[in-house]
A and B are shown apart, each in its own frame.
Chain A
Amino acid sequence: MSEEIDIVIDSKTYHAKEGSLLIDLLIKEKIKVPYFCYHESLGPDGNCRMCMVEIEGQKRPQIACDTFIEPNMEVRSTGKTIEKVRTDILELELINHPVDCPTCDQAGECSLQEYYMDYGLHEAKVSISDKVKHKKHVDLGSNVILDQERCVLCARCTRFTDKITHTHELGIIGRGDDARVSTMPGRKLDNPYAMNVVDLCPVGALTSKDFRFVQRVWFLQTVNSICHGCAKGCNIFIDHNRVKYQDDVIYRFRPRRNDEVNGFFICDEGRLSYKALQENRQETALLQGKEIREEEAIQEAQTLIQKYKDNISVVIDANLYSEEIEAILRFAKKINASVHSPLDVYIEESFKDDMLRSAHRAANYKTIEALHIDTHEPKSSGLLINFNHPQNFNAAAHIDFLTHQRDVPSLVFPIADYTENSGTLTNEDGILQKCEKAISRNLPIPTVIEILLKVKV
């Protein structure tokens, strides 16, 4: 069944595996085909009927999501018949839909809106007052809000809770034009991956409480990055924007497909981790709690390093980029310091599950191990230089490089967090992944490497 064969789509020949789904080929070859219910992670369901194509020898148009590729297949994805079929099916989908895109939060990333521009744009035969009214604001739980009127009943969300999380919270109740997505009475959507239904929803029915009506999606810039929540290294998009007269701000994380790492999804904790990332940032250098200029801080650091010569320990956070870790190692060698990165503090067994969440809550601990860095705590020393490691250690004197504010009465350097810097990480399966720089602050915070280059020793 897995033989490569040729099939013809719109008079062009393509290679495909015999017995594979036609819609997968259409999506792969970027041949325009509208669809709501099909999703590569959930498989075909065949309920939306939008992906109709004509197949030579078949009497009626067929749905591409439930058609298997056969030898000598001839497919037409365009033409008068197919346009008419799609228009008619879309008209059915839109019978009770309010078509109020300007006030909908999904506008700009809505399949229904796109297809409406392609196959809709006709006068509605049902007047607004005759449309079936449903609830506009149902709090399903786990930060997910449901607008039942905008739903096209593609069942992607219910299939997600059935097939992916196996928690079965969502289902379709009622029938005919009364059918709608719902939870059981008195029960909520409650699982650590729940917010993925917001990404799965092709229309504005499911939106995130956290993001809805905060930003228009066409104002957002998207950057590829990696979640730092645990060692799994789920691929994400960072959506950020600099609103006029304000600073560059992250508005949401979205999962980015990577079949080798996270598939299509991320956990809710990772998705919402952007909030804590932007709070309580360390923005200026400090000496005993007082703000000082960077040059003064560097001067102070040089004096300390000189004073405690040959009695210095360096501690590295296992979330830093590999490039940063290597720069710190080079620096430590120069000042003849012992290097440590205690990893026990990152382990949180209760966080682990059998989907994506890993007990190692450090994004780059594999690199620490690969570089043979001592993972024991440093023995008490003269000077301790801490590169954002979450633990506090005893020493006569401290220098702290911090992304976020911490109550330490020492010399503190502010450093850029992972969204303000680019670099590479190795996830727990040994896959090397790259993060791009997303945020450019109005007042930039230097990276570890930039500061270390300025310290003369």
Chain B
Amino acid sequence: MSFVFSKENLLRIETLKKRYPSPKALCLPCLWMAQHQEGYISIDAIDTISEEIGIAPMEIYGVVTFYTMFHLEPQDKLNVQVCKTLSCKLCGSDEILKHLEGKDVKISHVECLGSCGTAPVMQIDDVYYEELNPEKVDEILKSLR
């Protein structure tokens, strides 16, 4: 196995383990740590997590494929997640989507991001970008390159 959790992550896992009656509860936190550490979740990482928390690799793989937020392959483009739910739709998410088309980013339409007060909203990695308009989107993308 070539995947090894970083020291900090191992420490976090140990702290989290004390919180739950079973280490199996750490499936999602471990997956997040692996994804943050490597940028994606490799099969090696799944095997390492499996040993760490005692869930079969296949079950963890099922969890990874269930959630759209986890990636099984390295992401070479920015993952721009645009909210497609009602408030954002009414406040112009269609315009944002149209504007993003043709740009060198991965666009995904996601369910409500829970920030209706500042619609339209998009999320890149873990950061929210709110009250968008096409110019603002250009600025954001430029700053991230």
Contact = CB atoms under 8 A, between A and B. Distances in A.
Contact of B57 (A162, A172, A184): A184
A186 B65 CA distance: 16
Interface string A152-174: 00000000001000001111111
Nearest to A168: B56
Contacts of A173: 61-62, 65-66
B58 interface: yes
A185 interface: yes
Given A174-B66, A175-B66, A186 B43 contact: yes
Contacts of A422: none
B31 to A, nearest CB: 14
**Chain B interface mostly:** helix
A168 B57 contact: yes
Contacts, number: 30
Contact of B62 (A172, A185, A186): A172
B33 to A, nearest CB: 20
A191 interface: no
B56 to A, nearest CB: 3
A183 interface: yes
Given A162-B56, A184-B57, A171 B62 contact: yes
Given A168-B56, A168-B58, A171-B58, A185 B65 contact: no
Interface in A117-144: none
Interface string B41-56: 0010010000000001
B59 to A, nearest CB: 6
Interface string B91-131: 00000000000000000000000000000000000000000
Given A184-B43, A185-B43, A186-B43, A174 B58 contact: no
A330 to B, nearest CB: 56
B43 A170 contact: no
B66 A184 contact: no
Contacts of B56: 162, 168, 171
Contacts of B58: 168-171, 183-184
Contacts of B66: 173-175
A186 B42 CA distance: 13
A158 to B, nearest CB: 8
Interface in B33-92: 43, 46, 56-59, 61-62, 65-66
A155 B138 CA distance: 47
Given A162-B56, A171-B62, A185-B43, 8 more contacts: A168-B58, A171-B58, A171-B61, A173-B62, A173-B66, A184-B57, A184-B61, A185-B61
